[in-house]
Amino acid sequence: MLTSLSIQNYALIDNLHVDFNNGLSIITGETGAGKSILLGGLSLILGKRADLSSLKDTSQKCIIEAVFDVSNYNLKSLFEAEDCDYEDQTIIRREILPSGKSRAFVNDSPVNLNNLQIIGERLIDIHSQHQTMQLVSNEFQFQVIDALAKNDEILQQYKLELKDFKKLQKELKELLVFQAEAIKEHDYNSFLLNELIEANLIEGELALLEEEYETLSNVEAIKEKLSESYLLLNDEQIGVLNSLKELKNNFLKLKGYSTKYDDLFNRVESSFIEMDDVYREIDRMHDTIEADPKRLEEVNSKLLKINNLMQKHAASDISELIKIKNDLDEKVSITENLDNTIQKKSKEIELKTIQLNAIAEEINNNRKNAIPDLITQLETILSSLGMPNAQFKIDCVFGDSFYSNGKDELSFLFSANKGGQFNELKKAASGGELSRIMLAIKSVLSKYIQLPTIIFDEIDTGVSGEISNKMGDIMLLMSKTMQVISITHLPQIAAKGHTHFKVYKEDINEVTTTNLMKLNHDERIVEIAQMLGGIEMSSSAIAHAKELLN
């Protein structure tokens, strides 16, 4: 509920602060006194755009601040979704700077106007004759029926299932698009894959093949160098082995003279053994290495194939080619198995459709069961509001398409006169009738759901007498479960309020200012008497005012 409202430097208001109570609050005042200014200031709190014309003094900023008790509204999740700090006593502030820029804050955290509008619509419902067109909205009509049908929980379940259903549909569509594209590429991808498979690629093979190619390409040169090395080691005149053998024999004799030659002998002997081993290895290699033109051709062919593939796929080595092969293998495999995947996805959609249909049917049944009660309550209330022949014809037909709130097609028809044709509300009801219908609907809704603070802005225009008295009774009844504020020009309604405020203008230093004051009992008598008989109050008007208040 709205607990307080402060307005500074807005339109005709210098500085105004008002505290509101729960129950029914009444705001009255002469035409042009500034009742609309209050609503204008409040609408800025709810996210309406502002401009410099809102400022009373264009050199100073305008500040509007409202405090709400939201402890019973279950709004924590909404505040989190809008990235706002939640407080049971929530403060919303709007500032309009002399530059024309505006700022908004929720519990001192800056927010944009979209955040403000989303939160604001859950805090205050401002209703005037101009806003009765909400009545003709299919979405609003469903909200009314669903409140009576107690569909809140099942609608949440339906929305979750619908979200999954749409996700599956999107996935199937993407699969079908992918399949269409994949089919075009399938043959080419298969060709590339087979080419890589036939290459029989082995990681690290390239270096080995290049080495083997170099060996096979230079057999004669290798044999020649091996032969030269063989002679260098084993030549009778200058052979390394013969020289080492003589050197070893010399140190063998020397070590017989002194142990200090032992180390040199051992080192020469090790060198002889190593060179002898090298000689034998060269001899073996020389005997085993042979020219192999066929193998050379095979190695050359594979190297050419690998290099061509690397160039074709812009790969730097075999490991990249293997990765490309695996990716192609996956693409080809996916394409070849897409039919199965699509079938599986289609089956999931079929099952989800069955689940959704079952939930939608339950929603439809709940609505159908609630409609007769809604019609009875609305027609009863409207009869008391001077529309005894008002009739509703509401049909809820189970359709073929999944909508955001079920599968129903709603027909919400109205007839104001006995024997009249049923028609859509916007065609069948006048502005005054729409106001009374909205009041009736809000009254019914207040029994079933926690409505926000509701402000009726001269909803009673065009009615008087007993009907206005009934309208006041309805507002009073609504105020037992919610905060109701009524801006009215009818004394019968003004007398119903638990709290009464008066909007008035006064001229100070030749400057007109709008103010708001809370009336005590005696002041209420005067205000209501003036509403009944004008400024010149008669004793009968005062008596009538006292009677209304009592």
pLDDT at 450: 80
pLDDT at 18: 93
pLDDT at 129: 62
Which stretch of DSSP H or E encloses residue 396? strand 391-403
Is the pLDDT confidence value at 33 over 90? no
Nearest to 458 by CA among 446, 444, 441, 475: 475
pLDDT at 506: 87
Nearest to 11 by CA among 66, 50, 45, 65: 50
Domain ranges of the chain: 1-123+452-519, 176-337
**Where does the pLDDT of residue 496 fall: very low under 50, low under 70, confident under 90, or very high at 90 and above?**
very high
The type of residue at 454 is I
pLDDT at 255: 82
**Where does the pLDDT of residue 275 fall: very low under 50, low under 70, confident under 90, or very high at 90 and above?**
confident
pLDDT at 133: 64
Is the pLDDT confidence value at 237 over 70? no
Options 2.70.98.10, 3.40.50.300, 3.30.1330.10, 1.25.40.10; which CATH number does 1-123+452-519 get?
3.40.50.300
Question: How far is the C-alpha of 550 from the C-alpha of 495, rounded, in Å?
Answer: 8
Q: Mean per-residue pLDDT for 395-409?
A: 94
**Where does the pLDDT of residue 52 fall: very low under 50, low under 70, confident under 90, or very high at 90 and above?**
confident
Which stretch of DSSP H or E encloses residue 517? strand 511-518
Q: Are 115 and 86 in contact (CB under 8 A)?
A: no
pLDDT at 58: 86
Is the pLDDT confidence value at 257 over 90? no
Q: Mean per-residue pLDDT for 328-332?
A: 79
pLDDT at 471: 92
pLDDT in tens, 440-464: 999 998 888 888 899 998 888 777 7
> SS3 for 451?
coil
Q: Are 549 and 521 in contact (CB under 8 A)?
A: yes
pLDDT at 455: 92
Residue 275 CA to its chain's centroid (Å)? 81
Q: Which of 23-37, 192-206, 405-419 has the highest mean pLDDT?
A: 405-419
pLDDT at 51: 76
Q: Mean per-residue pLDDT for 328-343?
A: 81
Q: Mean per-residue pLDDT for 221-239?
A: 75
**Where does the pLDDT of residue 490 fall: very low under 50, low under 70, confident under 90, or very high at 90 and above?**
very high
Question: How far is the C-alpha of 28 from the C-alpha of 492, rounded, in Å?
Answer: 12
pLDDT at 196: 83
Question: How far is the C-alpha of 251 from the C-alpha of 272, rounded, in Å?
Answer: 13
Lowest model confidence (mean pLDDT) among 181-195, 389-403, 417-431: 181-195
Higher-confidence residue of 278 and 215: namely 278
Question: How far is the C-alpha of 105 from the C-alpha of 84, rounded, in Å?
Answer: 9
Q: Mean per-residue pLDDT for 343-360?
A: 96
Residue 465 CA to its chain's centroid (Å)? 51
Average pLDDT, the chain: 87
Is the pLDDT confidence value at 336 over 80? no
Say what percent of the chain tops pLDDT 70. Answer: 98
Question: How far is the C-alpha of 383 from the C-alpha of 361, rounded, in Å?
Answer: 33
Q: 314: which 2 tokens? A: 């812009």
**Where does the pLDDT of residue 130 fall: very low under 50, low under 70, confident under 90, or very high at 90 and above?**
low
Query: Which residue stretches of 385-457 are H helix?
Result: 425-428, 431-445
> SS3 for 409?
strand
Q: Is the dihedral of CA 188, 194, 196, 198 positive or negative?
A: negative
